[in-house]
Amino acid sequence: MVITGVGLVSCFGEGLEGHLNALENPPPPTTDLAGYPVHSLAVIEFDKQIPKKELRQMEGWQKIGVYAAGLALDMAGLKADSERLSQMHMIVAAGGGERDLTADSLILNGLQSTTEKGVYLNDKLASELRPTLFLAQLSNLLAGNISIVHGVTGSSRTFMGEEQAGVDAVDTAFKRIKANQGECFLVGGSYNAERLDIILHYVMGGVLHKGDYKAIDRLGMILGSVGAFLVVESREHAVARGATILSEILHVASNQINRETEFLEKSLSDLLSKVEVNKNTVVFSNSSFEKVTNEAEKKALNALNLPIQHLALAIGSSMEAAFPAAIALATLNLQNAPSKEILITNVGHYRGEAVALVKAAS
Amino acid sequence: MKKKQVVVTGYGVITSLGEGVKDNWAKLIKGESGIHRITRFPIEGLKTTIAGTVDFIEKDPIAPELTREMALRAGLEAITMSNIGSKANFPGPLFLGMPPVELEWRQRGEIASKINGEIDYATLIKQAESGNYKPYHQLFLFAQIGEKLKASFGTKGAPVSMSTACATGATAIQMAVEAIRRGETDAALAIGTDGSASQESLIRFSLLSALSTRNEDPTKASRPFSKDRDGFVMAEGAAALVLESLESAKSRGATILGVIEGCGEMADNFHRTRSSPDGKPIIGCMMNALKDAGITADKIDYVNAHGTSTPENDRMEFQGMSHIFGASLPHLPVSSNKSMVGHTLSAAGAIEAVFSLLTMQNSVIPPTINYETPDPLVGLDVVPNVARAQQVRRVLSSSFGFGGQNVSLVLGREV
C-alpha cells in the first residue's frame, strides 16, 4: 500500500523539516522525570491543528495524536475533502490517558490516616476527579477526538497492546487494502512519555534506563513523546484522486512468541527471511534496548549485514506510536534517498516482534 | 466477487446471570435479572450502588485478572462446543475486545503504605525501584491479557486487542469475519470481555451522569425504552465465538450454529458521548451491515438492540431504526438483553451476538424486562417483560459506543 501523508511530532519538532537529520548524531534526552531521562516533545502549537474549544477537552496524549493526525491529513491533501474524510477508515493504536496525579497523591496521603478506606475512596474520587477527565483518558477517545476535530468518520477502530498495537494498526490496513476491504486509511498512534504514572508502571518492571544518558550501550528503555500518523491507500485510490505518493509499504509481518519458552532470535530470523533485502537496504530498528531482546535482535540482524539506525536513540521508545513513527521516519528519509529501501524491525520490550519494508515512491 | 460465508461453530458466555450458555439462556427467557446491590466494595456515598458484576469467580478481583478469567472460560466453552483444533491448539488468530486496564487503588495503596512521609509519584517511583512490584508491570500492560489467552488457547500469531467502547465486542467479531473473508485464516476466535467494575470506573461513569440511580430495587433499574429510564447499569461478562469459513466448517463436519452474514460500522463526530441528532451515523452503520449482508431491511425478523436504558440512546436508536425499517417498525420485535444483564461494556457486542444466535436456534425472543411505562416517543414492540416464541431467521444486533464508534451485525440462523 502507498503512503500519501505523514504526520510526525517528537522531541525534534514536526514533519520533514523537524526530522531531516534526526538520525544523525541525535542529542540525548533533555528531560528528567524522577531521575529517569525522557525525550520530551518539542514545543508544538497545538491550536494550529486543534480548535481551542476542543483542546480544552484533551490532555497531552490526545493533543499529540490529534495534532499528528492533522499533519498527515494536510500532507495527503485531504484536510478540506469532507466527502473523502467521511468515508475514510481510521485505526488508532492507543494506550490510556493521563491520570490526575495531584488527586491521586492527595487521596493516597489521606488513605494512610483513615480506617474507612473504601468510604474515603468513594468520597474523594467523586469530589476530586474532574467529570470530563474520563473522556481524556478513555483509550478509544483518541480516535473519537480525531473524528470530531478532523471529520474522519468512515469507521473507527482502536487497538491496544503497547508496541504491537502500532503494528496491528498498520498491518490491518495493509491486509484490508490488499483484499479490497477498504481503500483509504488513517493509521497511527500517540504516546506522552512525560507522565509520572507511566514512569511508575515501567519502573515497577525494572525496564527503564535510569540516570546519566548512555547511548547504545545502555540497558533499559528511555521513553519518548511521539505522535505518528499515516495516510495509507491503495495505489489506485491515490492515483485516481491525484495524490502524491510519498512511499510504499511492501511488506508487514509479525509474530508473538513466549520469550520464556521460545527463542526471539529464531522468530525474528524467520520474519526477516521472508523479506527481500538488497545492497540499498538500511535497517531502522525500534529496539527498546532491553538487554535480552536487544541481543536477540542484534544476532538476527547480523546475518543480513546491513547498516542499522536505532530510532529510540533519536526519539525514544514510544510504545503504540513506535511502529507508525518508524514508517513516518522511513518515508521522510526516503524523500532524500529514493534508491534506498528501509527495513523496519519492531521488537516490543515485553512481547511481540514485527518487520516491515518501505521503499520510495515509484 | 462473492464474499466468503462466515459461520459460527461454537460459542460461550458468562454474565451476572451465570456461567455458560445453558444457564444464561434459561434465565434470559425467564426474564431474570442479574443486577444486584454491589458487594465488591463499600457503597456508602455512591450515587449508584447497583451493578451486574460477576462475583462468583473472585470476590475481590483485580480487573485484568477477572477480565482474563471470564474470557478464558467463555473461550473454552466455545472451543469445546466447536470441537475445532485440539487442546491448546486453536487453528487461527485471536481477536480480543477488552477494557482499558491500569494500576488500581489497591496496588497504588500497597506501594504507598511503605513510604515514610509525603506520598506523591516521585516517592511512589522511588519505592517501586525496590523491585518488589515487578508482577504489576506485566499485569497492567494492555497486551498481557491477550498474551495469556494466546498461551491458553494456542491461537496463532500476535493476538489483536481492541477497544471501541461499547462496540468493542462487536468489533472483535467484525475483525474475525474480515480475516476469514480475505482468506488469511479458515478460523478465528473472537472474544469480548469486561471485568473492570471498580470504585473508580463506577464513579467515572457516575460523574458523567450516565448511570441509573434507581438503587432501591436493583433488578428493576435497567429499563430500556421505558419512559422512566434513567441511565445504564454497569455490568461485567464475557462471550466468545468460534468463527470459520463455511467450507472449512463443512469439511470437518462441524455443526453450524449460525452465520455472521454482515458487519457494518460508521463513526460519529458530533460529540464525545452523545450521538448526532440527525441519527445519520447510527442509520449509516445499520445500513452498512445490511448492505454487507446483501439483504434489505425487511429480511430482519428481530433486532437485538443496543438499548442501554439511557434517555438519549434509546430515543436515538428508535429514530435510527424508524429510518431503516419505516412503517414495519411497530411490528418488528426489538428487545434489549441489557434489561437483564446490564451494560457489559467491552463484552456487550459479543454477549449480545451469542444471545442473538441462541434466539434463532431456540425460536424464542428474550424480553425487555421492567417495561411498565412505555415511552410515547419510542413506539416499539420491545417484547415486553415476557419471552416470545417466534421463528427468527435473521437478527440485526447493534452496539453504539462512547466516542462515536458504532457497529452493527447481521446474524443468520442457517446458511
β-strands B6-15, B258-267: how paired? antiparallel
CA atoms of A325 and A318, how far apart (whole Å): 9
CB nearest to B103's CB, from A139, A151, A201: A201
Residues B342-397 have pLDDT tens digits of: 999 999 999 999 999 999 999 999 999 999 999 999 999 999 999 999 999 999 99
Residue from B68, B120, B399 whose CB has the most chain A CBs within 10 Å, to mutate = B120
Residue from A160, A264, A317, A351 whose CB has the most chain B CBs within 10 Å, to mutate = A160
By the 8 A CB rule, do B144 and A348 touch? Answer: no
Q: B227 burial class (0-12, 13-18, 19+ CB within 10 angstroms)?
A: middle
Q: Which amino acid is at A32?
A: D
Q: Quick check: B75 pLDDT over 60?
A: yes
Q: Which of B148-157, B267-276, B297-306, B322-331 has the lowest mean pLDDT?
A: B267-276
Number of other residues whose CB lies within 10 A of the CB of residue B273? 21
Per the model's pLDDT, the better-predicted residue between B270 and A243 turns out to be A243
Residues of chain B positioned with their CB less than 8 A from the CB of A132: 208
Q: Quick check: B163 pLDDT over 80?
A: yes
Q: Quick check: A152 pLDDT over 90?
A: yes
Does the CB of B4 have a partner CB in chain A at under 8 Å?
no
Q: With CB atoms and an 8 Å threshold, state whether B125 touches A200.
A: yes
**pLDDT the model gives residue B275:** 84
By the 8 A CB rule, do A354 and A26 touch? Answer: no
Residue from A90, A145, A148, A157 whose CB has the most chain B CBs within 10 Å, to mutate = A157
CB nearest to B207's CB, from A126, A147, A148: A126
Q: With CB atoms and an 8 Å threshold, state whether B46 touches A122.
A: yes
Residues 6+ apart with CB under 8 A from B130: B114
**pLDDT the model gives residue B3:** 85
CA atoms of B192 and B168, how far apart (whole Å): 7
- Confidence band (pLDDT; 50, 70, 90) for B201? very high
Taking phi first (over 0 means left), then psi (-120 to 50 degrees means alpha), and beta for anything else, what does residue A92 get?
beta
Query: 523491585: which residue's cell?
Result: B131
CA atoms of A34 and A66, how far apart (whole Å): 28
Q: With CB atoms and an 8 Å threshold, state whether B137 touches A34.
A: no
Residues of chain B positioned with their CB less than 8 A from the CB of A167: 158
Taking phi first (over 0 means left), then psi (-120 to 50 degrees means alpha), and beta for anything else, what does residue A31 get?
beta
**Nearest CA distance, A123 vs chain B (angstrom):** 6
Residue from B47, B107, B116, B119 whose CB has the most chain A CBs within 10 Å, to mutate = B119
Residue A318, Cα to own-chain centre: how many angstroms? 6
In total, the C-beta contacts within 8 angstroms joining chain A to chain B are 243
Residues 6+ apart with CB under 8 A from B383: B333, B334, B335, B365, B366, B367, B368
By the 8 A CB rule, do B291 and B264 touch? Answer: yes
By the 8 A CB rule, do A92 and A189 touch? Answer: yes
Q: Which of A206-220, B26-40, B79-93 has the lowest mean pLDDT?
A: A206-220
Residues 6+ apart with CB under 8 A from A190: A61, A62, A64, A65, A68, A92, A94, A142, A226, A227, A228, A320, A321
- Confidence band (pLDDT; 50, 70, 90) for A59? very high
As annotated, the active-site residues of B are 166, 306, 343
Alpha-carbon radius of gyration of chain B? 21
**pLDDT the model gives residue B306:** 98
ipTM, 2 decimals?
0.97
Task: Express as a percent the part of chain B with pLDDT over 70.
Answer: 100
E strand residue ranges, B268-301:
none
Residues A298-319 have pLDDT tens digits of: 999 999 999 999 999 999 999 9
Q: Which amino acid is at B12?
A: G
Per the model's pLDDT, the better-predicted residue between B275 and A167 turns out to be A167
Distance in Å from the first CA to the final CA of chain A: 12
* 3-state secondary structure (DSSP) of residue B361: helix
List, in sequence order, every residue forming a beta bridge with B258; answer none if it has no partner. B8
Q: Which amino acid is at B279?
A: G
What element of type H or E holds B329?
none
Residues 6+ apart with CB under 8 A from B341: B15, B16, B17, B28, B33, B34, B52, B235, B237, B351
Residues of chain B positioned with their CB less than 8 A from the CB of A200: 103, 121, 124-125, 128
Q: Quick check: B1 pLDDT over 70?
A: no
pTM for the structure as a whole: 0.98
CB nearest to B208's CB, from A131, A139, A206: A131
By the 8 A CB rule, do B238 and B216 touch? Answer: no
Q: A278 burial class (0-12, 13-18, 19+ CB within 10 angstroms)?
A: exposed
Task: Express as a percent the part of chain B with pLDDT over 90.
Answer: 95
Task: Give chain A's mean pLDDT.
Answer: 95
Residues A189-216 have pLDDT tens digits of: 999 999 999 999 999 999 999 988 777 7
Restricting to B residues 120-179, those with a Cβ less than 8 Å away from any Cβ of A are 120-122, 124-126, 128-129, 131, 133-134, 136-138, 140-143, 146-147, 150-151, 157-165, 171, 175, 178-179
By the 8 A CB rule, do A170 and A228 touch? Answer: no
CB nearest to B266's CB, from A125, A155, A258: A155
Residues of chain B positioned with their CB less than 8 A from the CB of A162: 141-143
Q: How far is CA B201 from CA A125, A157, A211, B236, in A?
A: 10, 22, 35, 12
By the 8 A CB rule, do B13 and B71 touch? Answer: no
Q: With CB atoms and an 8 Å threshold, state whether B404 touches A101.
A: no
CB nearest to B44's CB, from A119, A167, A255: A119
CA atoms of B309 and B212, how far apart (whole Å): 8
Q: Quick check: A323 pLDDT over 60?
A: yes
Q: Quick check: B403 pLDDT over 90?
A: no
Residues of chain A positioned with their CB less than 8 A from the CB of B206: 126
Residues A268-293 have pLDDT tens digits of: 999 999 999 999 999 999 999 988 89
Q: Quick check: B32 pLDDT over 90?
A: yes
Residues 6+ apart with CB under 8 A from A268: A296, A297, A300, A301, A345, A347, A353, A355
Instruction: Kindly give the residue spans of alpha helices, DSSP state H, lying in A285-321.
Output: 291-302, 311-315
